Chains A and B, each alone.
Chain A
Amino acid sequence: MGILDMIHVTKRFGGLIAVNDVTITVEPRTIHSIIGPNGAGKTTLFNCITGFYRADEGEIIFDGEPIQFLPPDEIARMGIARTYQNIRLFSNLSVLENVLVGMHSHLHSWFIEPILGLPSYKREEAEARKEAMRLLEFVELDDKAFFLSKNLPYGEQRRLEIARALALKPKVLLLDEPTAGMNPRETEETMALIRRLRDERGITIVLIEHDMKVVMNISDTISVLDYGQKIAEGTPLEIRTNPRVIEAYLGRGAAMGLSQAA
């Protein structure tokens, strides 16, 4: 049993089977990549894990507990955070506020505390701000804490999204194409950041990624999806030489050839 187990997960949309009987075990403190051609069902799988879709069949076990029937906010509070393929920040909130929203489930005040201005509330808020600034430092955005998040450049928005997810203090972090649209230098930095998350903070990372260089470089384990089915799993080396994987990619003429990345 890993920290996150998907056991025979199936998700259908009408006649279309987006995820078909997928079983994946994510080991703790690893970087586990899920790759596959477009439309292979990777993001759907993320949505099933986070509770936004209900899996039609199968089980999803997180930290020993089945979560497939839990509402998404409860799953988030249990310790699964995510980022999005097309960045989804709270664009009219400041950078700091974005992170503070991420810390929501670790704070306690509600209606009456702020109105009365209780000292405990003030202390909690000050603590939270400090903590948020530390997270922003971690992703090197602390000097932009008071910018509106929509005014950040693209690469920084990606980093902010990661910081916001980290604020949740997740055990598992789902990253949906974190390097999409980045230049090589930014990609390099992001990879370093992801490694630090695993090594310094002990967070398990599940990664959807199209850039094969990144995947091969960073992953401990790789699962390959095609047409909603898992067709291969293993270390980068095993995947690189797996004939089914090469067929899935090259057979369809996808230009991101694996041999090239190797």
Chain B
Amino acid sequence: MRGFPWRETIRTGLLGSVVALHLSLVGMVEAFSRREIVKDVVTLGQLLLLLVVLVAGYLAARKAAERNKAYAIIAGLIVGLIIGAVLAALALSIKPLHLRQVFTNASRGLVRVLLFDKKGMAGVLTLLAVMGGGGIAAGLLELLPNHVRRPLLYALIATLTLGLLRDIFAVILPRSISRFFYTSSGLTVKGAVVLAVAWTLYFAAAERWGQQVRGRLEALPPEKQKPLRLGAYAIALILLLVLPKLLGERGGYIFEVLDIVGIYIVMGLGLNIVVGFAGLLDLGYVAFFAIGAYTMAVLTTPELPAVRQYIPPMDFWEALPLALLASLLSGIILGVPVLKTRGDYLAIITLGFGEIIRLLVISDALKPILGGAQGITGVARPHLFGWTAKTPQDFFYFILVAIAIGFFISVRLKDSRLGRAWKAIREDEDVAIAMGIDHVATKLTAFATGATLAGLSGAIFSSKLFSIAPHSFNILISIYVLSLLIVGGIGSLPGVVVGAFALVGLPELLREFAEYRMLVYGAALVMMMIFRPQGLWPETLHAEEYARRKGTSTAKTATAGARE
């Protein structure tokens, strides 16, 4: 074993152990072990620990493989065993050391999960075997060539995701198919095998031929590309419109989730203009969501005699423009003083504003108007030609329209004079000013546009919920929206959707996840900033792509186009 990187391997193993210990003691392992991915084979909790072993093992293996290919597997194994040993030590020490008295989650349940439901030595050996096996797998993964590793990994991820999303697919799919793939919790064993094989074949094919297909599509002249793209959009749109009818009664739960995701997408699109385009980190964004929601509620509820005395309850469509106007105006009013400051102070100031608004809402001082800590019920619902929206499916359409508006505004403004001014301010405010850009007006427009979209989102939210209470509007909402932007890719429109599904959709589906939501968001923010600041689906920098793919020829044609 000459030249084996002992030091690095052990350090990676210990780092992995710290992560595994953290996940166990924080309670995630146990909570997640209640969700089975493949029936009687693997739970989400075990998967979480295995994932730690895989990542740590892979990192150690990559380091070790630089010296000698065979070392990769040894390094993986060592890392796996270290993590396994530390977890075993934890499992065995919980009872004798009374760890429960300090760590609430150091419970008997955790021991059971860690030791695979076995007692004493048998459990420890199983744990070590599984973790060691994971480590070896990580080592093997490192040794595989790229075009084999990638399809395998993707197939694994896709299969596990399908297991994770059982609650959706088991409902959507026809019974006979669903029975084959899913049990009451997680995938069936044969279902998992079939899916894994199918996905592997698919990703292998994509790896082999995907580039060619894409290349051929791009080689098509623009006139032919356009109808293709429009067709794809049209199909997606029709699918979205028909989906509620297709699923009927079964879809209630799914649309409940989709509605929440959609509300966050609208907010995300608004904040994307503020943070992504104009570079203004607004941590009090929830305030505008609250203002939209409260305006809708206060104007339409039959409660609140202090208000009803002067204004009779309105219906949804009368209140909606007023809600938008209120959030727009508050965006301007709060924006004027706030936008004098820059960068990180702006973040703290907006945070302060958000908190002030929340404190005012829950205070008794404004209770007669805003309902105080109990909130307001009886918010009006949207109606059209005698039909009133009640179910999540009905609201889905309204939210879809709101998303479309948000997208439309963002797309149209992005490359306009205003959009360029926003981006210039984001890049370098001093220079933008020296170019003659009125920075206050420009920033204010971004702030107000973002605020209005948040207000729209809030108005729909309060109407959908039928009642609102101040605790729905705390600072965490701002952080959720910011996180989904950053995870999706700041400034990127598809990124908003990806981020919303990943950060809002998943936790809604996985109830046990809810408690660890902020933990995961926090970790995600830090990791994204360190490892992938551009996000999962970055803003397509058309410029860069043109330049890289087609050299200067595209630029020339574009020049010619501009000259016409």
Enumerate chain A interface residues (CB-CB to B < 8 A). Answer: 50, 52, 71-74, 76-77, 81-82, 84, 88-97, 100-102, 104-105, 107-111, 113-115, 117, 121, 125-126, 128-130, 132-133, 142-148, 151, 164, 168
Contact = CB atoms under 8 A, between A and B. Distances in A.
Contacts of B309: none
B542 A100 contact: no
A93 B555 contact: no
B435 A164 contact: yes
B2 interface: no
Contact of B420 (A50, A74, A97, A133): A97
Interface string B416-435: 11111101100110111111
B435 A147 contact: no
Contact of B428 (A77, A90, A109): A90
Contact of A144 (B439, B555, B562): B555
Contacts of B317: none
B562 A52 contact: no
Contacts of A94: 541-543
Nearest to A105: B436
Given A94-B542, A104-B436, A146-B547, 4 more contacts: A73-B438, A88-B431, A105-B435, A143-B556
Interface stretch (B120-128, B374-382, B405-413, B471-479): B405-413
B398 to A, nearest CB: 21
A72 B554 CA distance: 37
Q: Which of B427, B435, B558 gathers most chain A CB within 10 Å? A: B435
15 contacts: A88-B431, A89-B431, A90-B431, A93-B424, A97-B543, A100-B417, A104-B420, A104-B436, A110-B417, A117-B412, A125-B416, A133-B562, A144-B555, A146-B543, A146-B546
B559 interface: yes
B23 interface: no
A171 B563 CA distance: 26
A227 B428 CA distance: 30
A115 B412 contact: yes
Interface residue SS majority, chain B: helix
B558 A146 contact: yes
Contact of B552 (A81, A104, A114, A143): A143
A168 B437 CA distance: 11
Interface of B: 408-409, 412-413, 416-421, 423-424, 427-428, 430-439, 445, 449, 541-544, 546-547, 552, 554-556, 558-559, 562-563
B538 to A, nearest CB: 11
A114 B435 contact: no
Given A142-B559, A145-B559, A114 B418 contact: yes
Contact of A104 (B421, B430, B546, B555): B421
Nearest to A128: B417
B433 A115 contact: no
Given A90-B428, A145-B558, A52 B434 contact: yes
Contacts of A164: 435
Nearest to B439: A73
Contacts of A93: 420, 423-424, 427, 543
B561 to A, nearest CB: 9
Among all A-B residue pairs, the 7 with the closest Cβ atoms: A94-B543, A114-B416, A105-B436, A76-B436, A90-B427, A77-B436, A146-B546
Given A93-B424, A110-B417, A151 B555 contact: no
A23 B432 CA distance: 29
A72 B552 CA distance: 37
Contact of B408 (A84, A89, A115, A168): A115
Contacts of A111: 413, 418, 445, 449
Contacts of A110: 417-418, 445
Contacts of B430: 52, 88
A96 to B, nearest CB: 8
Nearest to A167: B435
A104 B442 CA distance: 12
Contacts of A132: 562
B434 A91 contact: no
B190 to A, nearest CB: 50
A113 B413 CA distance: 9
A107 B438 CA distance: 13
Given A93-B427, A129-B562, A147 B543 contact: yes
Contact of A84 (B423, B431, B439, B543): B431
Nearest to B432: A101
B412 A168 contact: no
B107 to A, nearest CB: 49
B356 to A, nearest CB: 28
B417 to A, nearest CB: 5
A109 B417 contact: yes
Contacts of A74: 436
Contacts of A121: 416
A148 B417 CA distance: 18
B413 A114 contact: yes
Contact of A91 (B427, B439, B445): B427
A135 B342 CA distance: 32
A148 B434 contact: no
Contact of A130 (B438, B439, B563): B563
B552 A144 contact: yes
A109 B423 CA distance: 16
Nearest to A130: B562
A101 B420 contact: yes
A107 B434 contact: no
Contact of A109 (B416, B434, B439, B558): B416
Contacts of B554: 146
A82 to B, nearest CB: 6
Nearest to B556: A143
Nearest to A52: B430
A43 to B, nearest CB: 13
A4 B17 CA distance: 68
B492 to A, nearest CB: 12
A128 B428 CA distance: 22
Nearest to A145: B555
Given A90-B424, A114-B412, A168-B435, A148 B563 contact: no
